[in-house]
Amino acid sequence: MSNSISQIVLHLLSKNGPQTSKQMLTYIKEYPEMKSHKYLKSKVLDNMKNQDLIYKKVYRSDSKNLNKTKPVKRITYKLSKKMNYEVWR
C-alpha cells in the first residue's frame, strides 16, 4: 500500500468525518493512485485498520421489522482514537 493513499484517506476522514468506502471513493477518484473500490477496501482500508489508524463501525437496521426484508447494513470508517486529529486537519 502506498503511503500517500493512506495519508489521503486519513485527511478525508479528519476533514469530512466518518464515511462509507463509497463516499470516500467519490473524493479519491481524482487521485491517480487509486485503482478501484475493491482496491480501496481490500488493500488500503484493511491495512490501515490492521495498523490501528482507523476502525470500522457497522450499523445494522432493526431486523424485527414487519415486512421481513433483509436488514440494512452500513459500514463507516472512522479515525482511531489513538490518532492525533490536529495533524490531519
Q: How far apart, in whole angstroms, are the C-alpha atoms of residue 17 and residue 81? A: 13
77 CB neighbour count, 10 Å cutoff = 22
For residue 81, give every residue at least 6 positions away whose Cβ sits within 8 Å of its Cβ, in sequence order, or none: none
Spell out the CATH class of 3-83.
Answer: mainly alpha
Domain ranges of the chain: 3-83
Q: How far apart, in whole angstroms, are the C-alpha atoms of residue 31 and residue 37? A: 13
Among 14-18, 45-49, 78-82, 85-89, which stretch is predicted with the lowest mean pLDDT? Answer: 85-89
Q: What is the per-residue pLDDT for 21?
A: 84
- In tens, the pLDDT along 31-59 reads 666 777 888 888 888 888 888 888 888 77
C-alpha closest to that of 1 among 60, 50, 70, 66: 50
Predicted TM-score (pTM) above 0.75: no
Sign of the torsion angle spanned by Cα atoms 44, 48, 54, 58? positive
5 CB neighbour count, 10 Å cutoff = 21
Q: What is the per-residue pLDDT for 87?
A: 45
